Amino acid sequence: MLPLPALPATTDGRPRRAPRAVLWAALVVLLLVAQILLVMLTLNYEEARAQERSDDVAAAALAALRQRSQTLLQAIQALPAGDAAELPWAAAATEMLRRYPAIGRLERRDHQWRVAETADSPLRRPVFERWPRAELEREALTTCDAARRSSAARYSRSQFVPGLGGLGQEVMQLCQPLLDGANLTGYIVATVVLSALLDDLRLPVNAQTHELSIVEADGTRLARSGSARGAGIYIAQRLLDLPGAPLQLRVDAAERHPSLIPNLSTALVLGLSMGLFCVVVLLVRDGRRRARAESRLAEALAFRKAMEDSLSTGLRARDLAGRIVYVNPAFCAMVGHDAAALMAADVPPYWPAEQVLDYQRRQTERRSVAGEPGGAVPTALREGVETEFMRRGGERFPVMVYEAPLVDGQGRHTGWMSAVLDLSDQRRVEALSRQQQERLAATARLASMGEMASLLSHELNQPLSAIASYATGSLNLIAGAASPATGAGSKPDPDLPGLLHQALSRIAEQAERAGRVIKSVHDIVRRRDQAFEVVAVDQLFEAVMPLVRMQARGSGTRIELQLPQPAPQVRVDRTMLEQVLLNLARNGIQAMDGGTPVAQRVLSLRVDWVGGGAAAGPGRSGWAAFSVTDQGPGIAPEVAQRLFTPFFTTKGEGMGLGLSLCRTVIEQHGGVIDHENLPARADGSGGGLVFRFTLPLAVPRQAAAAAALPDTARP
């Protein structure tokens, strides 16, 4: 099998690598960008989530704190009024302190702010254990004063209460004025321990992850809760809108910035999977493209095989060593060996035994011309070579071998591809055609001889009849002179010698003319060069007019001759041209003889200048236009079609060669001949016929006119 054609390649023959590399680079860059974006987005997301969690904790803590302070207030307001109550205040206060660990101490004061009763929380050490209460009541007093004015509970600012062992705690005083209608009856002052307040919130989620603090507006931390320490990154701060206390609740997540490494590896895994996906998609597409290309290739191969099998031309491929690598069925049929035998043979079995050495030498020579295997592709060996092959049975036959270099996909010369044409049939046909041509030529020679004989008899008829009539006339003259009627003594006619001389000269002229006719016709048949000479047309007419007139006289026809002055000059074979004029004139006279009334029998001969003016340009000197017009019946259409056909005649004694000869002569002189029926006469009879022919001028009109001027008129 032949090497398969290469897959699509660039114009310089290399496969398209560059665009693919660019695609891969773009893919890698895209993957990198995607991974970086992924990492950034993940980090952002994680940070936002952490911040959200802090916000959630802050919101929950704030809600819980508000709710706690609300119930605290309600509990304080629910405490018995004091001395007048059925339940002792101290017992109720202690009970309440047990329920609210955030409150360190409860005091009931009268309307003059004197302490009526106090109760310390049983859950902790007394708040004012180390520092006497009296020294720390300024805040409480201010708060109660404000509470009294607003008639609503109020918190004091936070204050530090030192404890035992160098410790201490931040507390706030919550003051609830006690009113009896519009009268102030006293105050309940609760000391709220801030850290306990936070601990008491008991939020389910925050203990390990978030640090809760209560801070002042300037950021000073007053209390904190939770085992976790805040990292100071995800902070949520909310205003603790306790009446009178401008404090804030702050939630600080223990969580730090999200770590890059796990995100990076996630992104890497994701990116690689994306890359893998892209590669798979590309591979699938590539696979599909390959499949399509393969199917196209298979179709092309099938098409080529069908084409090669159907060819009647033999195809043969050889490698550089001359070994056959492929032959098509037509080649096998031609030489009578199968493909396997041809490819296996060292010496092709179709080489005629006696020429093997020659053929081998030729092959070696060609290999040396072709150069090295795989080298530059030779171009000079494409022309066809005629040689001889041998069929299986030993029959030699001529072949034409067209050989072209075989070039592989990389542009390397790998061998030779030949188209082999069996020339046997062509040779047979050529031999046959040669024989036929020879036969044809022989027939043509015979026909020419016949034609020549016909022409001669036809054309010699006129000079001979002229000679005959001159001879008869001369004899009559002589007989008249010698007749007894004139008497022996009578004097001989003095004009007789002159007349006889004239008649004999005419006879001699006509004999000479007959000789020229024979020579010219002979020349035409033998295709010898004609005797061309430049003649003025009046000279032509001068020669033919006596004969024309002689013929016209018999039928009473008048002859009109119109020649321009100066007469055009043409380069012609004079004898043949005179023959043409004679033929046309004779035909015209004969056409009028019989049908046309004698009075109307006029034969008009005319020559005109045509073209050749200044506008005709160089090299175009114009034409002399001849016309021969008769008053006969004209030509019927069916006759017109065959007019110039040799041997076509409507006359009983006619040869039908006159017009065909005319056309041959005119065309040989570079002119054209045609004819035209003239309009019918008033009585309906034919209006006659005109034959026209042209001849190229030998001398341009201006030159002829100048030559014709009298000497005095010349410049």
- Using CB under 6 A, list all residues that contact ligand ADP: 583, 587-588, 591, 630, 632, 635, 639, 643, 648-651, 654-660, 689
Q: Which is nearer to ligand ADP, 348 or 632 (CB)?
A: 632
Q: How far apart are CA 688 and CA 693, in angstroms?
A: 17
Q: How far apart are CA 277 and CA 283, in angstroms?
A: 10
Q: Which is nearer to ligand ADP, 248 or 627 (CB)?
A: 627
Q: How far apart are CA 151 and CA 590, in angstroms?
A: 163
For residue 628, which of 669, 683, 678 has the smallest C-alpha distance?
678
Shortest Å distance, C-beta 487 to ligand ADP = 48
Q: Which is nearer to ligand ADP, 418 or 660 (CB)?
A: 660
Instruction: Give me the long-range contacts of 192-195 (CB less than 8 A, separation at least 24).
Output: 192/72, 192/102, 192/103, 192/104, 192/155, 193/102, 193/103, 193/104, 193/124, 193/127, 193/169, 194/158, 194/169, 194/170, 194/222, 194/223, 195/169, 195/170, 195/223, 195/224, 195/225
Shortest Å distance, C-beta 553 to ligand ADP = 18
Q: What is the number of alpha carbons within 13 Å of residue 686 lying toward its C-beta? A: 19
Shortest Å distance, C-beta 591 to ligand ADP = 3
Shortest Å distance, C-beta 674 to ligand ADP = 13
Instruction: Give me the long-range contacts of 648-657 (CB less than 8 A, separation at least 24).
Output: 651/590, 655/454, 655/457, 655/458, 657/451, 657/454, 657/455, 657/458
Supply φ then ψ for residue 606, to 5 degrees: -150, 150
Whether the Cβ atoms of residue 97 and residue 106 lie closer than 8 Å to each other: yes
How many residues can be counted in the chain?
Answer: 715
Shortest Å distance, C-beta 638 to ligand ADP = 11
| CA distances in angstroms from 588 to 220, 593, 594, listed in the order given | 148, 9, 12
Supply φ then ψ for residue 394, to 5 degrees: 100, -5
Q: Which is nearer to ligand ADP, 191 or 583 (CB)?
A: 583
Q: Which is nearer to ligand ADP, 510 or 583 (CB)?
A: 583
CA angle at 46 for the pair 45 and 49, rounded to the nearest 5°: 85
Q: Which is nearer to ligand ADP, 569 or 587 (CB)?
A: 587
Q: Which is nearer to ligand ADP, 376 or 639 (CB)?
A: 639
Shortest Å distance, C-beta 659 to ligand ADP = 3
Shortest Å distance, C-beta 688 to ligand ADP = 8
Q: Which is nearer to ligand ADP, 392 or 651 (CB)?
A: 651
Shortest Å distance, C-beta 632 to ligand ADP = 5
Written as six digits, the tokens of 26 are 């773009």
Q: Which is nearer to ligand ADP, 185 or 461 (CB)?
A: 461
Q: Which residue is nearest to ligand ADP (CB)?
A: 658
Shortest Å distance, C-beta 679 to ligand ADP = 15
